[in-house]
Amino acid sequence: MAYPLSGLKVLDLSRVLAGPFAGRMLSDLGADVVKVEPPDGDITRYWGKDISGLPGYYHQQNAGKRNICIDLRAEGASDLIKKMVLEADILIENYRPDVMPRLGIGYEALKEVNPRLIMLSISGFGHDGPESRRAAYAPVVHAESGLLYRMHERSGLPYHDLPLSVADTNASLHGLVGLLSAVIMRNSTGLGQHIDIAMIDATLATDDQVHYDLEDAHPTGPLPNEIWDAPFGPVLISTDFRVLFPLLVKHLGVVDPSNKDMTLEEKIAARRSTVDAFVQTLDSLEKLDEAMKTINIAWGEIRNPVDISNQPTIASRNSIVQMDDREGGTRPITQSPYRFSNAESGVRGPAPHRGEHNVEILSDWLGLSPAEISSLQTEDVILFDADWKHH
């Protein structure tokens, strides 16, 4: 079976997460994704377990890509990028909006080279607003979009960041939707376009709770899902307590301990104590599952992600796969979630070292001779990490 995006050429000038994750997904879907990395490298090369010179964070977001290292500030670098743009379908970048134009490779310059180019720009606050040049990482957007305030209000805990970078990944996924929409549109118009994705917009658009804030309507929402301490460990029961309790009484023999003389607070406390006692009788996952099936309520075991590979569905669907670690062994990596009935998809190789594919890419994409490539290296337009060959 063919990959859905086989034949698409992508220049990935992005770093950290919002851009690289989009590039990783395009690669998993079959595109030829070339990561254009600066000489000082992607900062994620410092994060995670280092195997063969490839730390885990960088490896997860850049697996399957090829790598060319270009000093974008060097004389001749913008010309090289423009030559590659002439061959490219898509370019991804997540610099601040003023950076690419200053380097001579902003969208206005690149569309003159290749009118069919589709360029995705991901930034914290977009390209045309009062904060367009403001630096932003995911935690900044988590704060500015109200997520941290809401978490504090609902939990009563001190302000703290989320344990994953949803502002980055939301922007990346919305960027992918925009890119693929533009590819389809280009089939009819023959022209590419520039897609401006602001992380704060993407976070807001995917916030299913924000309407409660905008309309001051939090009391109209459901009670939060609750976590109960079962004998075998904590579980989340995914329903409003006001729904759960009468179902337990009706279908599972739980006796309502309240009476008409109790205050509302006393009734709630007594009922919660009764539910807790009932949960204690469910001393296995199988008993809990059977009880929840009887009342048609969803539930989830609170799992330590260290052992997430053993989660039954993740194990069955191979959602974590073993990848060549380039030292004669393997290392775990997340699989992309796309499952097609008549197409191939999935991570296609380990992440690249900096400049590993300089010669290969410039030969494949541009047909440059060894002498021309050597000249670019002599002029420090392209560089490579000399250490990687020793890993």
Question: Does the domain made of 9-209+317-390 have the CATH classification 3.30.420.240?
Answer: no
Give the tens place of pLDDT for each residue, 87-116.
Answer: 999 999 999 999 999 999 999 999 999 999
In angstroms, rounded to a whole number, what is the distance separating the alpha carbons of residues 215 and 133? 31
**Separation of CA 270 from chain center:** 43
Closest by Cα among 62, 58, 108, 61 to 85: 108
Closest by Cα among 62, 243, 93, 244 to 179: 93
In angstroms, rounded to a whole number, what is the distance separating the alpha carbons of residues 357 and 351? 11
Give the tens place of pLDDT for each residue, 61-76.
Answer: 999 999 999 999 999 9
Q: Is the pLDDT of residue 191 over 60?
A: yes
- Rounded percentage of the chain residues whose pLDDT exceeds 70: 99
The DSSP bridge pattern shows strands 66-70 and 194-198 to be unpaired
pLDDT band at 285 (very low <50, low <70, confident <90, very high): very high
Position 234 scores a pLDDT of 97
Give the tens place of pLDDT for each residue, 229-248.
Answer: 999 999 999 999 999 999 99
Q: Is the pLDDT of residue 27 over 70?
A: yes
CA angle 229, 234, 235 (to 5 degrees): 105
Q: Write down the domain spans for the chain.
A: 9-209+317-390, 222-304
Do 67 and 37 touch, CB atoms closer than 8 A? Answer: yes
Position 391 scores a pLDDT of 43
Q: Is the pLDDT of residue 328 over 50?
A: yes
Q: Is the pLDDT of residue 222 over 90?
A: no
Position 11 scores a pLDDT of 98
Position 389 scores a pLDDT of 62
Place of tokens 């309309």: 215
- Return the axis-axis angle of helices 77-87 and 358-366, rounded to nearest 10°: 60
- Rounded percentage of the chain residues whose pLDDT exceeds 90: 95
Mean pLDDT throughout 218-239?
93
